[in-house]
Amino acid sequence: MANTDSVKVRVLSLNCWGIRYLSKQCPQRYTMIGDMLCKEEHDIVLLQEVWSEKDYLSLKKKLACSHPHSHYFKSGVIGSGLAIFSIHRIHDTFLFRYSLNGYPYMAHHGDWFGGKAVGMAVLNIGSLTANVYVTHLHAEYCRDKDSYLPHRVVQAWELQQFIRHTSAGADMVILGGDLNMHPEDLGNRLLRSYTGLQDAYLETAKFDGCEDGMTLIADNPFINKKELCPFEKGIRIDYILFKGSFKTDIYCDYMSTTKGSVPNHPFPYSDHEALTAGLRLETHTQTQSDRQPKIKDSAAGKLAALVDIVTEARTEVKVGLHCAEGMRYTATRTGVMGLALLVLELAIAAVPWLALGTEQPFPRTSFYLLAALCFAILLTTFLLYIFYTMELKALQGAEDQMRLAVGSLQEKLRGFPLAQPHNAPRRPPEGHEPSALAPEE
């Protein structure tokens, strides 16, 4: 039962807003970020929106001494923008690309081209294995009418699946990133309650930073205040989450955020605030069976809450399905109209030619322009049809998985008020802290 070991880990997460030539003061800010990381020597640095590999490579060069281990996750057309720097050796990496990520034709939003994903790195911190995740979910451009909500919910669903399934062997799980979700948003609740991850801001013993832990604040000079409306002061959308395992307890000793400016510098590191968390791991010799009763007490309530959350997520995905079906139908109808127009045009052009010989009443210029338009419509609607079909498949797939999960959770729940069902005591938990799913079966 006695604690045998204590390990401290300092984690930083920052959305770097690193769009070359478009983000303001980009090179200067990278210089500032590099200097700060070099000086602060966090154990683990989780960066998002490092869109250019060149910027990653220059950071890597600069941090060669302080953070000798790093990984840049490549994905999509531009890249995932995700990078990890670490003092501890990275033994293994893995990337999961979200199945949904906006629309390629919404080029001004750019999310689709970024190939949003969650990157995982396996580190050894002393004798412990840490699974470190970094991610960046689809942005929210309009909270009232958020057409990307189903995509973000599916991303949160896949993120929790990925973390849950890949972290069974880890002593410590850390997730940092820009989730683009407010603390109590559906995707955030889904992620936290399914994985059992704890929010560093809520768990920290000491906090120094923006009011309510906000990470996108009106005081930041790069922020357009209108875009924050109706949240005048700002919002909290960047997080550091963590959990231990059956053999480690993990605590957040302190947490801090930057406050919209950096002392002795004319502007901040980014349009987002940087988050720093000081985590402390305590290893214990306690066995799984010692801890089991404590887990059971709270598990029924957690399971019931989880069923509600997954059901809510399912509803949101169904809204997305309905919407995608509508879009595909519109694309199909437009395609059919394009085809009909082409046939009509050919008929008008061909019939007099067939009937009257050399005379051609259809003006050539109009004929070719109209034909080009028809072909453009046909090609565009065909591509859109393919795209929406893929979107539908991904949404249906997530919905199926959620339905199955709800069924499985409900079955577990049924066993709770009574004595444990016949197969409950046979299998120990998968090795984790009281997440709602881990303890039983």
Is 280 a binding residue for its own copies by CB under 8 A? The answer is: no
Cβ nearer to its own copies, comparing 47 with 394? 394
Of the residues 272, 284, 322, 422, only one is catalytic, namely: 272
Nearer to its own copies, 187 or 213 (CB): 187
Residue 195 sits in the site that holds its own copies (CB under 8 A):
no
Residue 117 vs 274, nearer CB to its own copies? 117
| CA dist., res. 267 & res. 28, Å (int) | 9
C-alpha closest to that of 17 among 54, 58, 57, 47: 47
Cα separation, 394 vs 430, in Å, equals 28
* Residue selected from 38, 66, 94, 410 as contacting its own copies according to rule CB under 8 A: 94
Q: Is 288 in the site for its own copies (CB under 8 A)?
A: no
Provide the minimum distance between the beta carbon of 194 and its own copies in the complex, in angstroms, as a whole number. 10
Query: For residues 87 and 128, what is the distance between their CA atoms, to the nearest angstrom?
Result: 14
Q: Which stretch binds its own copies (CB under 8 A): 132-140, 317-325, 346-354, 364-372?
A: 364-372
Pick 205 or 379: Cβ nearer its own copies? 379
330 — phi, psi (to 5°)?
A: -60, -45
Kindly give the interhelix angle for 186-195 and 288-356, rounded to the nearest 10 degrees.
140
Position 381, amino acid? T
Q: Applying CB under 8 A, does 351 fall inside the site for its own copies?
A: no
Distance CA 328, CA 382 (A): 10
- Give the residue with the Cβ less far from its own copies, 110 or 183: 110
Pairing label, strands 275-284, 248-257: antiparallel
Name which of residues 134 to 193 contact its own copies (CB under 8 A).
161-162, 165-166, 168-171
CA torsion angle 216 222 225 227 (round to 10) = -70
Q: Does 361 bind its own copies (CB under 8 A)?
A: no
Confirm or reject binding of residue 322 to its own copies (CB under 8 A). Answer: no
Of 101-120, which residues contact its own copies (CB under 8 A)?
115, 120
Q: Tell me whether residue 253 or residue 441 sits nearer to its own copies (CB atom).
A: 441
Residue closer to its own copies, measured from CB, 91 or 333: 91
CB of 27 to its own copies, least distance (A): 23
Mark 45-84 with x for binding to its own copies (rule: CB under 8 A) and - for no binding. Answer: --------------------------xxxxxxx-x-----
272 is catalytic: yes
As a whole number of angstroms, the distance between CA 136 and CA 411 comes to 33
Strands lying side by side in the sheet with 82-86: 69-73, 82-86, 44-48, 3-15, 275-284, 248-257, 206-208
d(CA 268, CA 227): 19
DSSP for 357-396 reads: TT---S-HHHHHHHHHHHHHHHHHHHHHHHHHHHHHHHHH
Which of 25, 31, 334, 408 touches its own copies (CB under 8 A)? 408
Query: Measuring CA to CA, which residue among 293, 307, 247 is closest to residue 433?
Result: 247
Stretch of 198-206, 294-302, 339-347, 391-399 lying at the interface with its own copies (CB under 8 A): 391-399
Count residues near its own copies (CB under 8 A): 60
Compute the least distance from the CB of residue 356 to its own copies, in Å. 19
Among 6, 389, 414, 420, contact with its own copies (rule: CB under 8 A):
389
Query: Are 395 and 153 in contact, with CB atoms under 8 Å apart?
Result: no
The strand ranges marked E within 172-323 are: 172-178, 198-199, 206-208, 216-217, 234-235, 238-243, 248-257, 275-284
Interface residues with its own copies (CB under 8 A) are: 71-77, 79, 89-97, 99, 115, 120, 124, 126-129, 161-162, 165-166, 168-171, 364-365, 368-369, 371-372, 375, 379, 386, 389-390, 393-394, 396-397, 400-401, 404-405, 408, 411, 423, 426-427, 430-431, 441
Enumerate the active-site residues: 272
